[in-house]
Amino acid sequence: MDRKKLVSIIIPVFNAEKTLYKCLDSLNNQTYKNLQLIFVNDSSKDNSLDILNNFSDESDYKVNVISHEVNRGVAAARNTGLDAAVGDYIYFVDADDKIDPQTIELSLNKAEEDNLEIVGFSWYLTFEKNEREMNQPNFNNSFEAIEKMFSGIMRWNLWLFLFKTSLFQDPKIRFIEGMNMGEDLMVATKLFCTASRVGYLNKHFYHYGQSNTDSLTKTYSESHIDQVTSNVEEVEKFLKISDLSNKLGNLINYLKLNIKLPLLISENKSQYQKWLTWFPEANDFVMENKTLPLRTRLLQLAAVKKQFWYIKLYNKVVLRLVYGILYK
């Protein structure tokens, strides 16, 4: 591999002083050293900026610390990072997570050796006392990756992929400022549609932190729903004019069901009511996506039938017993 290849890592930072050090340590310990680290301080009110400046002064990497004068959100922060990136490849890291030392070296090796524009890999779900390996499925082409993401068996988080920088440039792919929920889905879909050569590396690299079992449930505000909806609508619009448009079938409806599934991972009945009215056109497809576990499809069917007692019982068993005991 050409050791001169530069990898730009984009790290949005907002009030992250409590977790930033573990992120910085993992970046500092990378076995591949030709890195551009782009920290976008999104108007933090704590000591994050001081920590970043100290790290920059002591680092041997190419380090950019860019500050927003006002808080603009993660979508805008990532756009700022993309505009500052000069590397041959792009990678994203969140300021409260960490990566294994060989993350960049091995994924870059894979990209260069197989001439890939996107390299995917697996991750760890990290709790206070232990970790669980989370496996991404293998994919060999862009449609297969999109099919698996939309069907709910593959995650679209951007930190699960190394991207060739040229994918972001022609056509120009950016986040929608202010739309900070569902933004990974939107950008990942566009990047896979644009890429010609993609592949999977069977390694676990990224450590995604969960501080407690409560964070496994989500309460979506109306603002969150609006943001996700905007990104899903952008995905739908983009795909309709893409080369994949005639291959999609019911995948958009499967995606919509997967997007709103977290509303059912709750004991709050008002969340179930939101589920019914959010992307209602997808509700007829709850039993059709055979790639999902039967228990998930039955949970969605219960929501359609308004059998909310079943959903509450499911959450008591799964969340309190399984997650509470096994993964605490």
Would the pTM count as exceeding 0.85? Answer: yes
**The predicted structure's pLDDT at residue 126:** 87
Region 28-38: what's the mean pLDDT? 97
Region 138-166: what's the mean pLDDT? 97
Q: How confident is the model at residue 266 (pLDDT cuts 50, 70, 90)?
A: confident
**The predicted structure's pLDDT at residue 219:** 72
Nearest one of 214, 133, 117, 122 to 169, comparing CA atoms:
117
Location of structure tokens 């729903």? 225
CA-to-CA dists, residue 91 to 8, 27, 118, 155, 162, angstroms: 6, 12, 10, 16, 5
CA-to-CA dists, residue 179 to 30, 68, 184, 204, 233, angstroms: 31, 17, 10, 29, 12
**The predicted structure's pLDDT at residue 327:** 53
Percent of the chain topping pLDDT 90: 85
Indicate the average pLDDT of the chain.
93
Region 297-318: what's the mean pLDDT? 93
CA dist 82 and 96 (Å) reads 20
- The better pLDDT of the pair 320, 114 is held by 114
Condensed to tens digits (0 to 9), the pLDDT of residues 182-219 reads: 999 999 999 999 999 999 999 999 999 875 444 455 67
* Range name among 108-112, 201-205, 278-282, 323-327 with the lowest pLDDT average: 323-327
The domains found in the chain, sorted by start residue, are: 7-213 (3.90.550.10), 249-328 (no CATH)
Residue 8: which H helix or E strand, with range?
Answer: strand 7-13
**The predicted structure's pLDDT at residue 131:** 87
**The predicted structure's pLDDT at residue 210:** 76
**The predicted structure's pLDDT at residue 214:** 45
**The predicted structure's pLDDT at residue 197:** 98
Contacts with 279 (C-beta within 8 Å, 6 or more apart), sequence order: 229, 232, 256, 257, 259, 260
* Range name among 13-27, 104-118, 201-215, 249-263 with the lowest pLDDT average: 201-215
Region 164-190: what's the mean pLDDT? 96
Region 2-12: what's the mean pLDDT? 89
Condensed to tens digits (0 to 9), the pLDDT of residues 273-307 reads: 999 999 999 999 999 999 999 999 999 999 999 99
Would you call 261 exposed, middle or buried from its count of C-beta atoms within 10 A (0-12, 13-18, 19+)? middle
CA dist 103 and 115 (Å) reads 18
DSSP 304: H
**The predicted structure's pLDDT at residue 213:** 47
Percent of the chain topping pLDDT 70: 94
Nearest one of 98, 78, 83, 92 to 162, comparing CA atoms:
92
**The predicted structure's pLDDT at residue 328:** 53
**The predicted structure's pLDDT at residue 271:** 93
DSSP 135: P
